[in-house]
Amino acid sequence: MTTLIWIAIFLATFCFMEFMAWATHKYVMHGFLWSLHEDHHHKDHDSWFERNDAFFIFYAVVSITCFLLWKYDIFWAGLPIGIGIFAYGLAYFIVHDIFIHQRFKLLRKADNWYAKGIRRAHKIHHKHLGKGNGECFGMLWVPMKYFKRN
């Protein structure tokens, strides 16, 4: 029973993180912290790292904090929540940074309907170079229309 609750919390956290990623992207990254996200839309330097990577660090700190709350017996659900945030961050990195933006030359040939759909949606996001009027802020879950046709 506890295992089931543990798995349920893990899955709920993972799904909730898609919502968090969407909301952070729409209201924070394209909002008051645009200065950190801007170099992801038009790179103004030669470094492999982007100021935008600060958002990964932020969620890594949140994840580690949850893990520590569990480790020191402060909050038992800290473990599934912390691992859920970590798993989402990993999925986001693999899909967004590796598959879509090719920061590592991997997964280039992925061309199933799901991979094509999320890539198409994110390319639409990148059509906008500025802070305002953006669209497609989600990552793993995008509007159905992007999965249709080729």
Stretch that binds Zn ion, among 47-55, 76-84, 123-131, 139-147 (CB under 5 A): 123-131
Contact between 78 and Zn ion per CB under 5 A: no
Closest approach of Zn ion to the CB of residue 116, in Å: 16
Alpha-carbon distance of 58 to 24, in angstroms, equals 11
Q: How far apart are the C-alpha atoms of 143 and 117, rounded to whole Å?
A: 9
Cα 51–53–59 angle (5° rounding)?
135
* Shortest spacing between CB 129 and Zn ion, in angstroms: 7
Q: How many residues interact with Zn ion (rule CB under 5 A)?
A: 2
Among 78, 89, 134, 138, indicate the residue that binds Zn ion (CB under 5 A).
134
**Which CB sits closer to Zn ion, 116 or 128?**
128
Q: Is 101 exposed, middle or buried (0-12, 13-18, 19+ CB in 10 A)?
A: middle
